[in-house]
Chains A and B, each alone.
Chain A
Amino acid sequence: MSLNKEKIKHVAKLARISINEAKVDSLTKDLNSIFKFIEQLNELNTDKVEPLTSILNQSLRSRKDEINDGKIREKILKNSPKESEEFFVVPKVVE
């Protein structure tokens, strides 16, 4: 299969990345050559193969659902690009 420009713009929308119009052509070329490479996998019949779900021979541990942290609001807000009092600030969402 091949990816056309419209499809790539749609995927970029899903990924929340704006794509510079001038770069769409080269991006289309690069992605198509990568997918051509990836699609070698179609040579293999995998109908009877189970997908790998973990490379460890152990199941994921679970822990007790209890509070083990907290009172670190200042630390959490420390790297925010914009905050007000105790909140992250984003562009207006609701009119």
Chain B
Amino acid sequence: MVDITNQSLSEIVDNVKAKKISSTDLTKAYIKNIESAKKLNTFVTTTFDQALDKAKQFDAKPNYDQLLPGIPLAVKDLFCTENTKTTAGSNILNNFVPTYESTVTKNLWSNGSFLLGKLNCDEFAMGSSNETSFFGNVINPVEDQLVPGGSSGGSSSALAADLTPATIGTDTGGSIRQPASFTGTVGLKPTYGLCSRWGIVAFASSLDQAGPMTKTIKDSAIMLEAMSGFDKKDSTSINKKKEQYSKNLKDNIKGLKIGIPKEYRVDDMPKEIDELWEKGKKILKDLGAQLIDISLPHTKYALPTYYIVAPAEASSNLARYDGVRYGYRSQKGKDLIEMYENTRSEGFGDEVKRRILIGTYVLSSGYYDAYYLKAQKVRNLIKKDFDDNFLKVDAILTPSTPSSAFKIGEKTNDPVSMYLNDIFTVPVNLAGLPALSLPAGLDKQGLPLGLQLIGKALDEQKILNIGFAFEKNCAFKNKIEKWWL
């Protein structure tokens, strides 16, 4: 049996369709990879027996007319999976077994795929390095001792290490795009409302959005097509016709106008990031796109706005964890109130507690106008910056992150320095727009760096097309030595 786990999802799908590999053999190959990569700490739960059963069922009665025929997939442990433990990386959900399936995972399964396991992530998706997980930090397969990014760090690591052919994450402030950038993979945050939030453990409901994490742009298009779609169970789901992103993928970007925002050149940004951005601009220009200098004047206020809006929504969403109906319950405390307080103190980690306290404070009586209302006003200004510029340009090109992957422990003592990781990704969530991080180069230590393409609302096809053309002309090659074997 030839190992095909290093191939892209679309190549693997072609191999399954051509009957060059059975779903069972494919699944066994991934199980073997996963079992030999425990050091990366990517999986919280594996569902191997169930996956092999599904693979056998597929092989006995194959249906090749699906987007993901007989494909095993691991997903971030923030998606509720029926009868499979779902932890959100938290002690407070350590024993939670959902009795229902999230809409996006259900969509993936109805396109022919099945669950291989649940991937580690920052606790409640709060973090940029996967170091806040109750289940320990995840290692970046690019190099031992490096973080894989976060919060979808288990997803980015498992994908780059060939432990799943593709995966899905969630992105509230950069949690798909930043880990994709740190691991040399492709991460797409769709337009707010394109993928259902139903059955996803909630962090900040006006920002959360699920999206694909893949090795190639084509794979991203396939996954987005499979997972997206209107869902009446999500009140903010957009009701529109389903797009055929993979079929409509085109690499002709001649004449497209690409905005280059001057505010994304921040002080003390490493020279290599600047050079990478220049390289990206040149590739798009050589392909016939027109570069246009633009200004997004409120960019610097995006992160401070985010750190009001996201914790405020989180403090409200996480009020449900009270030790009564599900999840962890403390045995300490003499009455109901003490039981709540101890449950939440023992169940949540430090970063989650910090954010609940920030959120509770900014929403509390007497402070609401000064913080939350102020932030919602600035959020409007940030959205307007984008709206104004998208009258002139088709897409915007920026770096994905202000640095390459950093060392484990390097930023854990200073929350603000950790938050600055998301400086280029957060504005997009505040404005509800789609954005793609694509691998674009390596820094001098050989670590991957990504560029970000931001699109108009519901213009995923266009940024995928630009990414597709870029990918063909960039010649990016990830250097992963599989040192853990």
Contacts and interface: CB of A to CB of B under 8 A. Distances in A.
Contacts of B361: 3, 11
B357 A17 contact: yes
Contact of A11 (B298, B345, B357): B357
B301 A91 contact: no
Nearest to B380: A52
Contact of B344 (A17, A33, A72): A17
A84 interface: no
A56 B432 contact: yes
A22 interface: no
Given A16-B322, A52-B380, A80-B326, A41 B375 contact: yes
A81 B326 CA distance: 6
Nearest to B353: A17
B339 A44 contact: no
Interface string B147-160: 00000000000000
B356 A17 contact: yes
A51 B308 CA distance: 14
Contacts of A27: 353-354, 357
A38 B323 contact: no
Contacts of A78: 97, 99
A50 interface: yes
B206 interface: yes
Contacts of A79: 95-97, 99, 325-327
B159 to A, nearest CB: 28
Interface string A14-36: 11111110000001001101110
A60 B238 CA distance: 10
A71 interface: no
Classify the interface of chain A: helix, strand, loop or mixed.
Answer: loop
B382 to A, nearest CB: 9
A16 B340 contact: yes
Nearest to A53: B376
A19 to B, nearest CB: 7
Nearest to A46: B377
Contact of B301 (A3, A11, A41): A41
Contacts of B335: 91-93
A67 interface: no
Contacts of B432: 55-56
B380 A41 contact: no
Contacts of B338: 18
Classify the interface of chain B: helix, strand, loop or mixed.
Answer: helix
B377 A51 contact: yes
Most interface-central of B192, B322, B357, B416 (chain A CB within 10 A): B357
A95 to B, nearest CB: 10
A79 B83 CA distance: 11
A20 B345 contact: yes
Interface in B335-384: 335-342, 344-345, 348, 353-354, 356-358, 360-361, 364, 371, 373-381, 383
Contact of A58 (B100, B238, B300, B341): B238
A37 B301 CA distance: 10
B390 interface: no
Contacts of B383: 52, 55
B234 to A, nearest CB: 10
B305 interface: yes
A11 B363 CA distance: 10
A25 B324 CA distance: 31
B333 interface: yes
Contacts of B380: 49-52
Given A16-B344, A55-B383, A79-B327, A93 B336 contact: yes
Contacts of A16: 319, 322, 337, 340-341, 344
Given A17-B341, A51-B377, A34 B235 contact: no
Nearest to A43: B301
B307 A37 contact: yes
Contacts of B324: 80-81, 88, 90
Contact of B378 (A31, A39, A41, A58): A41
Given A14-B360, A15-B360, A75 B381 contact: no
A30 B336 CA distance: 30
B304 interface: yes
A41 B378 CA distance: 8
B416 A37 contact: yes
A33 B301 contact: no
Contacts of B300: 40
Contacts of B328: 81
22 contacts: A3-B361, A11-B360, A11-B361, A14-B360, A15-B315, A16-B319, A18-B344, A19-B345, A30-B415, A37-B303, A40-B300, A40-B301, A41-B375, A44-B301, A51-B377, A52-B383, A53-B376, A55-B192, A55-B432, A63-B232, A79-B99, A80-B324
Interface of A: 3, 8, 11-12, 14-20, 27, 30-31, 33-35, 37-42, 44, 46, 49-53, 55-58, 60-61, 63, 72, 75-76, 78-82, 88, 90-93
A-B residue pairs, 8 tightest by C-beta: A55-B432, A79-B326, A51-B376, A81-B329, A18-B341, A46-B377, A52-B380, A75-B99
